Amino acid sequence: MNLHLAPHYGMCFGVRDALRATHDAARREPVTLLGQLVHNPVVDAHLRTLGVRQGSLTAVGAASTARVVITAHGASEARRRAWQQAGYAITDTTCPLVHKAHQALAMLVREGYHPVVIGQAEHVEVQGLVGDFPQASVVLEPEDVLHLPAAARLGIISQTTQPLERVLALVSEIKRQHPGSEVRLIDTVCHPTKQRQTALEQLCQTCPVIVVIGGRNSNNTRQLTEKATRLGARAYQVETAAELQPEWFQGIRDVGITAGTSTLDETVTAVMDRIRQLTQD
């Protein structure tokens, strides 16, 4: 059996930098993470070994350490200020590409557009994006477009980890339902997400089975799994090597491997080693 690793997979620079900054801060003084640094239980366990405490971005003032860490997913300005005003020092690990999405949304609002965010309303990144703009609409499915207000100008950005094809399809639907409105999209899907999605398309051309490695609550990992399934592959999403089942690979010659942007390299290596073991027995 041949294992094919996607040309672009796994941890992105944004997550890597956030981990490093948290690591460095935790070595200097006790810190509380305001949410999951990334949606990956392996990373969470690693941070616990450093003594990093777990808190919540929304529970302003509840952290027991003097320093708190804002995660790579970012936060609204209002929330950031609330923590500062409560007397905490902040290590801000917001990914620069999430910052860009915040700036794009703020610019659209300044220019008089009704703000629209394509993404999951409950996701921490989206909550941060719309946190300073209570009038913003969040859409994820074509049915959500029905609830957009009849505004003369609609300014759209997206959660950084949404597949670009979903974003473009929703923008077309918005244009269709609002023919009289000026509709402007600023593409804020991040480059690493696009690269991993495109690399997966290549992988699906030769591999009937795809193993996607990453946290079950990681949006970009789930998007990879959904895309592989849409492209006709049998896709399995695992968080660790222990979840692999030998029957997934029976009679299969080519297996593709990819991983979400919050997956550690060592987890990818462990999964590949385990697949080799399972298929040699």
Q: Would you tell me which residues interact with ligand SF4 (CB under 6 A)?
A: 12-15, 72, 95, 97-98, 160-161, 190, 192-193, 220, 261
Contact 37, 74 (CB under 8 A): no
CA 138 distance to own-chain centroid: 16
CB of 64 to ligand SF4, least distance (A): 27
Q: Which of 125, 173, 182, 266 is catalytic?
A: 125
Contact 117, 158 (CB under 8 A): yes
Distance in Å, CB of 162 to ligand SF4, minimum: 11
Is 125 considered catalytic here? yes
Least separation in angstroms between CB 196 and ligand SF4: 9
Distance separating alpha carbons of residues 253 and 57, to the nearest angstrom:
46
CB of 205 to ligand SF4, least distance (A): 24
Provide the minimum distance between the beta carbon of 180 and ligand SF4 in the complex, in angstroms, as a whole number. 33
Burial string for 14-46 (b: 16+ CB within 10 Å, else e) reads bbbebbebbeebbeeeebbbbbbbbbbebbbeb
Residue 11 or residue 238: which is nearer to ligand SF4 going by CB?
A: 11
| Contact in structure between 137 and 149 (CB atoms under 8 Å) | yes
Amino acid (one-letter) located at 4 = H
Catalytic positions, written as ranges: 125
